[in-house]
């Protein structure tokens, strides 16, 4: 399911970032920053009343001076945010009253023809008729909040959810959805073309050719697939001149599109460049499907250009596992999209990982494996108390999620959690898919292992 995008816009100094931090930091909303890619917290994921969405913070919209490339970049990013958004939070400053620049921002939003929630910020007193002058902006009744003091945010969340487009669940029996991600110029579009056998996606050696996520359906061995090609995920872009500003703004939102593509996928192909072993940005890209709970395959492209011996692939894979231990479960393919070398192995591997991603283990077999694991390595103790595991059951697929009933979840040391995950993988596979393990307290009456 594609997450809706909620953009926070307005003129400078109305409290947009403070509001963003409040909306993404409240305990009632499940929020997590996007792993590795957005350390400056310009994107975040939120949930309210069962609806999940991306929140996007933007700089203030203000008149652009010819000699101010930074403000040009801020302005372009904000305008792109409006274009990308499913819903816009238009923030104004209550005590300052209606300003001429607020009207200019309102004109931009009206031209965009997107749903708008008018948010009057910095309000400490919620008296009838307060903020009535903002009705002149033409966006209906405003929501009054104080981001600084966390006042009336529940009403704002309710307004957000009520204005989001209807959630459309994707058909569980439909095509296996495969997202292709990586930093720029690793050969994502070339791989799509090699898989399709035709030039359906523009291929260029210039980094950043692909801007949008491009969906391409196809069929292989009686299985339907949907390939989702995406723009390259860059590190944070900093504008140095007017010429760079537009490029930076577009790259900024290409990342969001790639994140949405991963969220829609069943299996994500993380492309790496054989000629440049595992840059820091590669690790950040690989973390995205892992944190999103998606099946993952590491695809080392341009293998025809690598200097090889009989053990080059094994050594390369060993280094991958060592540098990215969080994703050791992901299989690795070594191929060349340009020459077609081993491209034929991609779809069979996707089919295998998709099956593991949907695997459900019978409770009886799972608990038998759990008993054997506990016999092999006894649970840890802390301060005279020993962890007791009563039983486990798989409560979800995509990704496989296992819940353990224990006497005290706080006694589960991370090393024992890792041991249990490794034993489950040894017994049942789950190749290419993350495992989610949850530990819940159970009363003493339950049977123990």
What number is the average pLDDT over the span 76-82?
A: 74
What number is the average pLDDT over the span 176-203?
A: 81
Q: Please state, in angstroms and rounded to a whole number, the distance separating the CA atoms of residues 184 and 231.
A: 7
pLDDT of residue 170: 53
Range from 257-266, 327-336, 364-373, 391-400 carrying the lowest mean pLDDT = 257-266
Cα–Cα separations (whole angstroms), residue 20 to 66, 184, 416: 29, 29, 37
* Higher pLDDT among residues 431 and 227, named by residue: 431
As given in the structure block, the two tokens for residue 417 are: 């959690």
What number is the average pLDDT over the span 80-84?
A: 77
Helices 188-196 and 346-357, interaxial angle, to 10°?
100
Cβ density class 3-32: b for 16+ within 10 Å, e for less = bbbbbbbbbeebbbbbbbebbbebeebebe
Domains of the chain: 4-163 (3.40.50.300), 176-357 (3.40.50.300), 363-441 (3.30.300.20)
Is pLDDT at 280 greater than 50 in this prediction?
A: yes
pTM: 0.67
Range from 123-132, 193-202, 209-218 carrying the lowest mean pLDDT = 209-218
Question: Are β-strands 332-334 and 295-301 bridged in parallel, bridged antiparallel, or unpaired?
Answer: parallel
pLDDT of residue 346: 95
**Exposed/middle/buried for residue 101 (C-beta within 10 Å: 0-12, 13-18, 19+):** middle
What number is the average pLDDT over the span 163-178?
A: 73
Is pLDDT at 87 greater than 90 in this prediction?
A: yes
Range from 10-19, 135-144, 286-295, 332-341 carrying the lowest mean pLDDT = 10-19
Is pLDDT at 402 greater than 90 in this prediction?
A: yes
% the chain with pLDDT above 90: 49
What number is the average pLDDT over the span 153-165?
A: 91
What number is the average pLDDT over the span 156-181?
A: 81
The mean pLDDT value of the chain amounts to 82
What number is the average pLDDT over the span 197-225?
A: 64
Q: Please state, in angstroms and rounded to a whole number, the distance separating the CA atoms of residues 76 and 64.
A: 10
pLDDT of residue 53: 86
pLDDT band at 36 (very low <50, low <70, confident <90, very high): very low
What number is the average pLDDT over the span 220-225?
A: 84
Is pLDDT at 190 greater than 80 in this prediction?
A: yes
What number is the average pLDDT over the span 292-300?
A: 96
What number is the average pLDDT over the span 151-177?
A: 81
pLDDT band at 308 (very low <50, low <70, confident <90, very high): confident
Contact indicator for 192, 201 with CB cutoff of 8 Å: yes
pLDDT of residue 296: 98
pLDDT per position as a tens digit, 42-67 = 667 777 887 888 888 877 777 766 66
Range from 108-122, 229-243, 293-307, 378-392 carrying the lowest mean pLDDT = 229-243
pLDDT band at 33 (very low <50, low <70, confident <90, very high): very low
Residue with tokens 């292989």: 220
**Measuring CA to CA, which residue among 328, 19, 277, 304 is closest to residue 146?**
19
DSSP labels, 101-161: HHHHHHHHHHHHT--EEEEEES-----TTTTGGGGGGSS-SPEE-BTTTTBSHHHHHHHHH
What number is the average pLDDT over the span 25-37?
A: 37
* Higher pLDDT among residues 399 and 261, named by residue: 399
What number is the average pLDDT over the span 9-22?
A: 88
pLDDT of residue 58: 79
Q: Please state, in angstroms and rounded to a whole number, the distance separating the CA atoms of residues 256 and 364.
A: 42
pLDDT of residue 216: 78
């Amino acid at each position: 399911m594609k997450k809706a995008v909620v953009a926070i816009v307005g003129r400078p100094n109305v409290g947009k970032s403070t509001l963003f931090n409040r909306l993404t930091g409240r305990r009632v909303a499940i929020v997590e920053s996007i792993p590795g890619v957005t350390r400056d917290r310009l994107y975040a994921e939120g949930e309210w009343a069962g609806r999940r969405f991306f929140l996007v913070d933007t700089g203030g919209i203000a008149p652009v001076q010819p000699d101010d490339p930074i403000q040009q970049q801020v302005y372009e990013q904000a305008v792109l945010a409006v274009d990308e958004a499913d819903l816009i939070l238009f923030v104004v400053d209550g005590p300052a009253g209606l300003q001429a620049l607020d009207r200019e921002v309102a004109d931009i939003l009206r031209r965009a023809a997107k749903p708008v929630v008018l948010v009057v910020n910095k309000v400490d007193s919620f008296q009838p008729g307060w903020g009535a002058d903002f009705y002149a902006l033409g966006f209906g009744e405003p929501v009054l909040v104080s981001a600084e003091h966390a006042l009336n945010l529940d009403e704002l969340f309710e307004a957000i959810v009520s204005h989001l487009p209807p959630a459309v669940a994707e058909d569980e029996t439909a095509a296996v959805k495969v997202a292709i991600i990586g930093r720029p110029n690793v050969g994502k579009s070339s791989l799509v073309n090699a898989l399709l056998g035709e030039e359906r996606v523009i291929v260029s050696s210039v980094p950043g050719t692909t801007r949008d996520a491009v969906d391409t359906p196809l069929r292989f061995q009686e299985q339907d697939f949907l390939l989702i090609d995406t723009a390259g995920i860059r590190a944070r872009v900093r504008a140095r001149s007017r010429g760079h500003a537009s490029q930076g703004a577009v790259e900024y939102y290409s990342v969001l599109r790639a994140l949405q593509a991963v969220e829609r996928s069943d299996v994500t192909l993380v492309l790496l460049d054989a000629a440049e072993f595992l840059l820091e940005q590669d690790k950040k890209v690989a973390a995205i499907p892992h944190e999103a709970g998606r099946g993952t395959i590491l695809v080392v492209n341009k293998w025809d250009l690598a200097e090889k011996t009989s053990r080059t692939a094994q050594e390369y894979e060993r280094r991958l596992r060592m540098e990215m231990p969080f994703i050791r479960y992901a299989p690795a393919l070594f191929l060349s999209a340009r020459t077609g070398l081993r491209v034929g192995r991609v779809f069979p591997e996707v089919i295998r990982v998709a099956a593991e991603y949907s695997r459900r283990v019978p409770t009886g077999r799972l608990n038998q494996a759990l008993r054997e694991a506990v016999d092999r390595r006894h649970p840890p103790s802390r301060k005279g108390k020993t962890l007791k595991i009563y039983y486990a059951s798989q409560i979800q697929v995509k990704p496989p999620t296992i819940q353990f009933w224990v006497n005290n979840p706080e006694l589960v040391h991370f090393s024992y959690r890792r041991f249990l995950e490794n034993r489950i993988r040894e017994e049942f596979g789950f190749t290419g898919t993350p495992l989610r393990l949850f530990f819940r307290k159970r009363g003493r009456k339950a049977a123990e292992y």
